[in-house]
Amino acid sequence: MNGGERRERAVAAPAATAFDVANQMLSWIGEQVVFARVGDVVVVTFGVMAGIGTLLAFTWMSVLWVGQGLSARHLLGIGLEGGVLTLVGSWLAAVLLDYRLLVTRPLEALRRPAFVSWGGILGALLALAVGAVWANFDVLLLLDGFARGAPLGHAIGRIGCLTYGCCFGRETHGRLAITYTHPQSKAVRVGLLHGVRLHPAPLYEAVLHLVLFSVLNAAALLGAPRGLPAALCLVGYGLGRFAIEFSRDNSGRMLLRCLAVNQVISLGMAAAGVLALLPILAFAPAAPPIVWASVREAALPLSVAVTAAATLIGAGFALQRKRVGSW
């Protein structure tokens, strides 16, 4: 063996070890389906992570909104409304996505607990639109605050997806992979993928959201006009999600021969963001600065609104009766 080959092996060995450790950590996370059991109630880890994500994301959104002039009373209303519509939108999107079951067995489709992330996003956006009218508040500021906070919550929620085994990836022979063995993991009980090396697709999306969170908040701090963070979020999330879907198992969810339903929706979101960019850059005024005194004065109602929204989201996704459900 010559000197060059020895150096290549010395470099490759730590890399292989790092991937082995990462894969072991991912597989351990995939075993954490159940967080706790209280009598007949099963608390799934995914719901706990969704609640934590909502708590952090909505805290940052609330600081931005209140600091830019939204009243504490309206914040509380938007928090409650947003929590409910996020759950309803997520469930409704899952029902419509499984349209074959809806057509053939409608009662079963409507009674089945199931959730889809983009439906929750649309539900939250509807809550913001209603809230803007009710509070007589600039809808672009609400959308920008949502865009600057939601990616953080979504990133944490996607780690929850890893624990639940939902949104699982395709089989992979690459170095980075997750393996599910827990009998209640969705990848095992629904996907029948016990012990199969899969793309950790939720991890890819968590990374995407952390990048979006950083970029959008940096853009706002650098003086982005109203609406620009929201438009950039649509473009970044749409294109990123479109790419990530190639690593996911979309069996039964193909809309076109080569594109999944989620990919078509993602392209639509990206296109909407691109179309919004030109008028925003040309005509949108600058965003007002954060008035931190207003945030401090509203600390109590802000805490109530954040806690209410996080509890609604967390409990809605976490609490199941007797066993892990079908979604």
Predicted pLDDT of residue 316: 82
End-to-end CA distance of the chain: 54
Distance of alpha carbon 171 from alpha carbon 90, whole angstroms: 26
- Stated as kind and residue range, the H or E segment containing 30 is none
Distance of alpha carbon 312 from alpha carbon 123, whole angstroms: 14
Predicted pLDDT of residue 14: 59
Could you tell me if 148 and 64 are in contact, meaning their C-beta atoms sit under 8 angstroms apart?
Answer: yes
pLDDT average per 10 residues of sequence, the chain (327 residues): 54 68 94 91 93 94 95 88 85 76 72 73 88 92 95 95 92 94 91 93 97 97 94 96 90 71 89 94 92 92 88 85 67
Could you tell me if 58 and 176 are in contact, meaning their C-beta atoms sit under 8 angstroms apart?
Answer: no
Predicted pLDDT of residue 113: 64
Distance of alpha carbon 242 from alpha carbon 254, whole angstroms: 13
Predicted pLDDT of residue 252: 59
Select from 266, 234, 264, 262 the least CA-distant residue to 250.
Answer: 262
Could you tell me if 173 and 197 are in contact, meaning their C-beta atoms sit under 8 angstroms apart?
Answer: yes
Distance of alpha carbon 276 from alpha carbon 284, whole angstroms: 11
53 C-beta neighbours (distance < 10 Å), count: 25
Could you tell me if 152 and 56 are in contact, meaning their C-beta atoms sit under 8 angstroms apart?
Answer: yes
Which residues make Cβ contacts (< 8 Å) with residue 247, sequence separation at least 6? 169, 170, 172, 199, 201, 204
What is the rounded (10 degree) CA torsion for 14, 244, 95, 129? Answer: 110
